[in-house]
Amino acid sequence: MTINHFFLRVSHANVSALAKFYTTALKPIGYTLIIQPAPGLYGFGSDYPYFWLKALEPGETPMSTHTAFNAPDHKAVDDFWKLAQEAGGKDEGAPGLRHDYSVSPYYAAFVRDLDGNVIEAVCLGK
């Protein structure tokens, strides 16, 4: 079974800035902004909106999450890490092999977004 889509609930005040952040950060793994069906709602993906940003109601506080995106190769992981920081994210772990994360080679990088969520790009088995 696979997951069809995922919603990340983000602060109302940051939703536009986060949409720009994710547009930049997810580009190396092939995700683009596909749809914005309503104010404060953004769908990203390659051929379908698998990842969504949804603005919370004003005054609601977001909870931190960790989301990992598959990357096609090590270069995409490296580019994700670099571009996400250039877009305002904070380093949470430079690109590299994580030998204790999986039995397969696990090459990943981690960045904290503008709302404090950790996003990861990971390439398995290469």
Region 108-120 average pLDDT: 96
pLDDT at 2: 65
pLDDT bucket at 43, cuts 50 / 70 / 90: very high
Domain boundaries, the chain: 6-57+64-124
pTM: 0.91
Q: Nearest 5 degrees, angle CA 118-CA 49-CA 12?
A: 55
End-to-end CA distance of the chain: 23
Beta strands 118-124; 106-112: pairing state: antiparallel
Identify the CATH assignment for 6-57+64-124 out of 3.10.180.10, 1.10.10.10, 3.40.640.10, 3.30.70.20: 3.10.180.10
Backbone torsions φ then ψ of 80, nearest 5 degrees: -55, -50
d(CA 96, CA 104): 14
